[in-house]
Structure 1
Amino acid sequence: MVSRIIPVDPFDLVIFGGTGDLARRKILPGLYHRFCAGQMPEDARIIGAARSEMDDKGYRKMIGEALDEFIPHTKREAERVKLFLERLHYTPIDAKGDGGWKTLKKLVRADVVQAFYFSVGPALFGDLATRLHEHEIATPESRIVVEKPFGRDLESARALNKVLADSFDEHQIYRIDHYLGKETVQNLMAVRFANVLFEPLWNAQYIDHVQITVSETVGVEGRGAYYDKSGAMRDMVQNHLMQLLCLTAMEPPSKFDPDAVRDEKLKVIRALDEVPTENIVRGQYAADDEQESYIAHSENPASRTESFIAMKVDISNWRWKGTPFYLRTGKRLRARMSEIVIQFKETPHSIFGEDAGSHANVLVIRLQPDEGIDLRVTIKEPGPGGMRLIDVPLDMTFADALGPEGEDVPDAYERLIMDVIRGNQTLFMRGDEVEAAWRWTDPIIDGWQSRGDRPTQYEPGSSGPEDALMLLHRDGRRWREIKA
């Protein structure tokens, strides 16, 4: 199979926060991979902008060291690294003042695609947007990329939307969620809407329930102060899991178009029911012999912030009424795993009798670590002795199915940055979508804060609190196991 790499138009990409961790760890290594794939045109340029006093030579040295650190040596070729670094420029900038903006204006070209990546804290989004506008650096076709968290509640999200809208139109704003750039997430849409096999069955008549799990083995080390103001609900559910839920549950859009797709996602969010207290489980990881507790990394020894949350969510529309969606995410769990599980109902009548047992099809979309799709079907167990049924997987692991080329599937940041340059907003959140998600999330957070609810302690390396298991057990269901 031959993959087609389509180069993008010439561009200037300015990375505000160009010396920061995200730029060094993800953005610039991702751009290097796109350069090596032949997707970056000859005259494309990348401009780092940050507070540090540095020249082009110093910046290239810094990013060269980052490439050494974050890209395997087998994918680093000295000559290609040299050519890539030659495309890098740097200018010091004062986000809250006027220092460096005249220099940046001279550096950014007006006759190519302009993209400005806000790889900084949300507190600086407004300052950067305003100065790009006031110094007449941005054009009506420029694009800005903003990282999460996009607000911490509905009020702050509205304020951020307003301050960006003062300088940029909605079609210029790219709110990035790297989960939507994953190959398997996009394949979810392909599986649903490019195969007649699934879409007729994709509803409450045939699907018993849906599980969405994002499990992490890491804790909050080094991020305790930030995480204590966020928690799993704000950090993961309101954005990542919400997006996965929307892509799973949305109606078929009329076409694969940014606004058509986002219109359907917005309808899902607006159809979400309020979540009763008994359908939410919050947890906080304790300490064990090898690892410290969440509290050890928090600035508040009495912190009530959750590092784990599980929820039963209902969608009140014709397609999904009666089919629950179970969401689960947490830190310090047994394994690093992200997946969407579509649990189909059992056949309405079995011709094989009670001895054959109960069987139902399961579709598993694996997002990490081994991206792929697994469809479990029921067959006869080989051998004599009657009709014994077993469930077996039809497994498509991308690395196996695509051969050597599957090893070079772009990561999420690579794909999304190239979509920005192309002007394709399909995989980015729209302002009204963000606000709708907060409108659903805020009452949940306000409820447990007003009641003073404490999260349940759970053991590191487990699947989370026992109450999360009961969330499904009381419905006669079971979580798909988090396997180490």
Structure 2
Amino acid sequence: MDQFLKRCFYHSGQYDSEEHFVELDQKLKEHEAGRITNRLFYLSIPPNIFIDVVKCSSLSASSSIGCTRVIVKKTFGRDSESSAALTRGLKQYLEEDQIFRIDHYLRKELVENISVLRFSNLLFEPLWSRQYIRNMQFIFSEDFGTEGREGYFDSYGIIRDITQNHLLQILALFAMETPVSLDAEDIRNEKVKVLRSMRPLQLENMVIGQFRSHTKNGVTYRGYVDDKMVPKDSLTPTFAAAVLFIDNARWDGVPFLMKAGKALHARTAEIRVQFRHVPGYLYKRSFGKDLDQATNELVIRVQPDEAIYLKIHDKVPGLGMRLDCSNLNLHYAARYSKEIPDACERLLLDAIQEKQRLFIRSDGLDGAWKLFTPLLKELEEKKITPELYPCGSRGPVRTHHLAEKYNVQWGDLGTEHYQG
């Protein structure tokens, strides 16, 4: 750490000043000392100043003897139009292969394991279709509110902040066809095909909510609009649930459910694959009429306490015939002694090594926004009021009705919660 910190320095300047970036260029050259070096600009700044910085850095501080890359941190616009304008602005000064659109969720250890799980295990790949899978669920919840980000959050909301990027990108990884190779372009080609095959999101397949104040055990928790940075009449959703469909041969008719929310009962992120029940199930008397209880489920817990487990059915020891639901599990903390690297560490290393596999390409970004932009505009134009839910709850009641509409139960609502 000491060796690393000795190589660090601070240089101040204005975002839109080419003169100041010339000064930065001179400072960098002093450290580079004539060696062939690459430069990587990491723009963890508000999106409205992306173009100014890219312009100045490209014209006045690019590497003259190596390559120059730029990491752009989300959010990438607010809708299709603003996203396209941002992309056009960046491409005035950069080529597509110089732009690294960072979504740290795609480099989470368990998300990274998705393709390995699918494509290197004969057990799963033959089952990965509408023939065996009843639904997939992508669940993200936080047990805290906006935590000092109220100004930013009220301009974007949970759909833009989480659903349209994190969850949709994970869905594309889960649902894509087998890529030709592990090269970045081959993987991103398949993800884009998934996004282009998806049915436009309809308002009737969406539930939005906003957390309200709640008193528990004598402690009062503030609601979203109780913050002084948030307008009292704000309709910005802090919770969103949606059902999406992919209109292709593999996934025709399979509902993909997403939900994301703040100030909920727990902090978790997980992916649940619920399989169909066994045809002509011999042991259905043990489960009663509800065959949904007799299905297998693959769960990938992204955070916290990373794990992959498969719910199976087995016989309880004894003279009678009583069935139980057990977990075949890969609990990371128990199986691997190594510390799991932070997602941003991985992405920065990928950018340094020019690995684009888990960075978002411009056509993938376009495909994602095309799915959500019409819905976002409809919500804003019609001033749809979010359903209020108390802090620390499981979210809006209508979320359950949305799942029931497609004969689905949210997997995280059961009594089962695996602990390694």
Query: TM-score if structure 2 supplies the norm length?
Result: 0.92
Is the Cα contact below 8 Å between 2:24 and 2:61 reproduced in 1? no
| Map of 1:372 onto structure 2 | 307
Aligned-pair identity (%): 38
> Separation in 2 of the partners of 1:355 and 1:421?
56
> Separation in 1 of the partners of 2:349 and 2:284?
55
| Map of 2:331 onto structure 1 | 397
Matched, 1:184 2:110: yes
| Map of 2:266 onto structure 1 | 335
Which runs of structure 1 show a deviation greater than 6 angstroms over 4 or more consecutive aligned residues? none
Letter in structure 2 aligned against 1:135: S
> Separation in 2 of the partners of 1:366 and 1:422?
28
> Separation in 2 of the partners of 1:165 and 1:274?
28
The C-alpha deviation readout for 1:33-67, integer Å capped at 9, x for no partner, is xxxxxxxxxxxxxxxxxxxxxxxxxxxxxxxxxxx
2:222 alignment partner, one of 292, 295, 298: 292
- How far 1:364 sits from its partner (Å)? 0.3
Matched, 1:106 2:40: no
Letter in structure 1 aligned against 2:267: R
- How far 1:221 sits from its partner (Å)? 3.4
Matched, 1:272 2:202: no
TM-aligned CA distance change 1:89 to 1:246, over 3 Å:
same
TM-aligned CA distance change 1:116 to 1:136, over 3 Å:
closer
1:363 alignment partner, one of 295, 298, 312: 298
Aligned-pair RMSD on alpha carbons? Answer: 1.6
| Map of 1:201 onto structure 2 | 127
> Separation in 2 of the partners of 1:354 and 1:299?
54
| Map of 1:381 onto structure 2 | 316
SS at match of 2:9: strand
> Separation in 1 of the partners of 2:310 and 2:102?
30
- How far 1:231 sits from its partner (Å)? 0.7
2:56 alignment partner, one of 126, 131, 135: 131
The C-alpha deviation readout for 1:240-276, integer Å capped at 9, x for no partner, is 0111111111111111111111111111111111223
Letter in structure 2 aligned against 1:123: N
- How far 1:206 sits from its partner (Å)? 0.2
> Separation in 2 of the partners of 1:426 and 1:251?
15
- How far 1:294 sits from its partner (Å)? 0.6
> Separation in 2 of the partners of 1:168 and 1:363?
42
1:475 alignment partner, one of 406, 409, 417: 406
Unaligned 5+ segments in structure 2 are none
SS at match of 2:300: strand
> Separation in 1 of the partners of 2:329 and 2:143?
25
TM-aligned CA distance change 1:355 to 1:107, over 3 Å:
same
SS at match of 1:477: coil
Alignment of 1:10-21 (within 5 A): none
Is the Cα contact below 8 Å between 1:115 and 1:143 reproduced in 2? yes
> Separation in 1 of the partners of 2:92 and 2:202?
38
Matched, 1:442 2:379: no
Greater alpha carbon shift after TM alignment, 423-432 vs 292-301: 292-301
| Map of 1:37 onto structure 2 | none
Matched, 1:167 2:97: no
Is the Cα contact below 8 Å between 1:253 and 1:260 reproduced in 2? yes
| Map of 1:46 onto structure 2 | none
SS at match of 1:92: coil
Query: TM-score if structure 1 supplies the norm length?
Result: 0.80
The C-alpha deviation readout for 1:135-165, integer Å capped at 9, x for no partner, is 1524572111010001111111111111111
Instruction: Specify which structure has the bigger relative contact order, considering alpha-carbon pairs within 8 angstroms and separated by 6 or more residues.
Output: 2
Letter in structure 1 aligned against 2:329: D
SS at match of 1:230: helix
> Separation in 2 of the partners of 1:90 and 1:276?
48
The C-alpha deviation readout for 1:350-406, integer Å capped at 9, x for no partner, is 233523554111000110011120111111111111x3222100111111111x22x
SS at match of 2:344: helix
Alignment of 1:56-71 (within 5 A): none
> Separation in 1 of the partners of 2:308 and 2:284?
31
> Separation in 1 of the partners of 2:95 and 2:251?
34
Is the Cα contact below 8 Å between 1:283 and 1:306 reproduced in 2? yes
Matched, 1:118 2:49: no
Is the Cα contact below 8 Å between 1:356 and 1:388 reproduced in 2? no
> Separation in 1 of the partners of 2:148 and 2:100?
28
Letter in structure 2 aligned against 1:85: L
| Map of 2:7 onto structure 1 | 87
Letter in structure 2 aligned against 1:378: H
